[in-house]
Amino acid sequence: MTTTPLHYQTITELAALIRKGEITCVELARHFIARINRFEDTLNAYRLLCMESTIDRAKAADRALKEGGDHGPLQGIPYAVKDLIDVKGLATTAGARILEQHIAAEDAAVIRRLEQAGMVLLGKTNTVQFAFSGVGINHDHGTPHNPWSETHCLPGGSSSGSGVAVAAGLVPMALGTDTGGSVRVPAALCGTAGLKTTVGRVSRAGVYPLSWSLDSVGVLARSVEDAALVYQRMQGADINDDSTLGRSPQDVLKNLKSSVKGMRLAFAETIFFDDIHPEVDTAVRACGDVFKDLGAEVTRIEFSEAAQAIQLNPGGVFIASEGYTLNKKWLEENFDQLDPVVAQRMIKGKDITAADYLGNMLASKRLRAKVYNVLKDIDALLVPTTCVPAKPVAEVDTDIDTYLNHNTMYLRNTNIGNTLNLCGLSVPCGFTKAGLPIGLLIYGKPFQEEVILNIGYAFQQITDWHRNTPDLSWLGDA
């Protein structure tokens, strides 16, 4: 029997407790509500909570199980969603006060699918304004507090609240979105698993957009298995997001626990390891030995395409182009009411010419085709998720140049995968001497989520990094 506190148990473990009758769905929901009430004032993970409907959903899950209606391991499990994702009757603010009356008329597609699986929504998590930053700072709603340090350190962004909520045991799983690293960066800095899906795998209908070319919906969870369970239910075609049409869902659970013996994994040396913190370098390199012990073939390759990807999207300017188009009303009419850093970055998108934008899109397509050929004999790439661990917010948020330099640094390795449309999985792989998490990023070819989840699951079977939990004694947590 596990001695792990209830709030730090995985979805699989919680599902087993529910089915053994050791806890009801209502009791589980109330446990997380109590924990949120205890720590939320400091951690600032949530934008809003829906506690009354949470208990109603939990009661419905208990009732269904009692009547023989078992919809699988997600039934009765609490979850949270990034405040870009529509929940009927709740505001979707995208991290901006000026959108606090933007009430969703319908649930997003991913919400409907998780509700059908019987999950229990706790609330919506804080995000960077318009999801346009990798450090996780929000000057409008406040910046969530990374639970691994009493000093207010970066949570990573833009799915900042989701990363903090999962890491601190305020929820077992939370949804995020990823346009340049916004699932994987907070996963790495907060010590959780973070799955970035290929564009076209999960419907974005009902998700506040930043970039129609690069946006994807992903999962932050306590384990790779948990991420796989959630992804399995979220994926699939949706007429309201044409990127998902014409592609059959994949069964990622079928081979999740298969051996990775004989798989070909490679450390991608170009760009990814440049200017890396030495403790991050050591931790990520050590993962090669873990995979060798599992029977995988681990090599190193030069991957010049990474540098080419960065050149195609310097500083996120082409994301800014689409972001400006989508948020033109707010930028032109309410500029002074927006987060100044986000607004100054995004409004530059209007200066990008159509010729430059279209030329970049064409070059991206050609580069993606080239990469697929380069990786034809490789199952996955191994790189650091971020090249440095979480820094104090006060050190980063001093002036706009310092902020932007750090933003570029934290997003560098993840942004490459978005430009190339790779799927990616960040898993905890160590800690610095200061006790801050380090993330390993497993990159797979487009639409091969089942491969990276299989690799990540195998890694977590013989490592315990994901079992570590933050010491919240500074908040009075025993």
How would DSSP label each residue in 351-406? Answer: GS-HHHHHHHHHHHHHHHHHHHHHTTT-SEEEEESSSS-PPBHHHHTTSHHHHHHH
Bond from prior residue into 158 cis (ω within 30 degrees of 0):
yes
Q: Are strands 78-82 and 297-301 parallel, antiparallel or unpaired?
A: unpaired
**Residue 433, CA distances (Å) to 149, 229, 283, 389, 459 in order:** 12, 33, 11, 11, 22
DSSP E strands, 179-286: 193-196, 216-221, 264-268
Is 238 within 8 Å of 244 (Cβ atoms)? yes
Q: Which of 82, 124, 196, 391 is catalytic?
A: 82
Produce one character per residue of 181-191: b if its CB has 16 or more CB atoms within 10 Å, e if not: bbbbbbbbbbb
Q: From CA 50, how far away is CA 122, in angstroms rounded?
A: 6
| Largest CA-CA distance found in the chain, in angstroms, rounded | 62
Please check whether residue 408 is in contact with residue 414, taking contact to mean a CB–CB distance below 8 angstroms: no
Position 319, amino acid: I
16 φ/ψ angles, rounded to the nearest 5 degrees: -65, -40
Give the pairing of strands 193-196 and 173-178.
unpaired
Q: List, in order, residues 6 or more apart from 188 with CB less than 8 Å away.
A: 156, 194, 385, 386, 426, 428, 437, 438, 439, 441
- Alpha helix (H) ranges present in 183-297? 184-190, 224-234, 278-293
Q: One of 133, 182, 213, 216 is an active-site residue; which one?
A: 182
> What is the edge-to-edge ordering of all strands in the sheet holding 216-221?
46-49, 120-125, 78-82, 173-178, 216-221, 193-196, 423-431, 437-444, 380-384, 264-268, 297-301
Tokens encoding 385 = 């998720």
**Dihedral, CA of residue 214, residue 217, residue 222 and residue 224, to nearest 10:** -70
Looking at this protein, which amino acid is placed at residue 83? D
Annotated active-site residue 59? The verdict is no
Catalytic status, residue 182 = yes
Query: Which residue among 133, 149, 158, 159 is the active-site one?
Result: 158
Q: Tokens representing 167?
A: 């890491």
Q: Going by DSSP bridges, is the β-strand pair 264-268/380-384 parallel, antiparallel, or unpaired?
A: parallel
162 is catalytic: no
Active site residues: 82, 158, 182
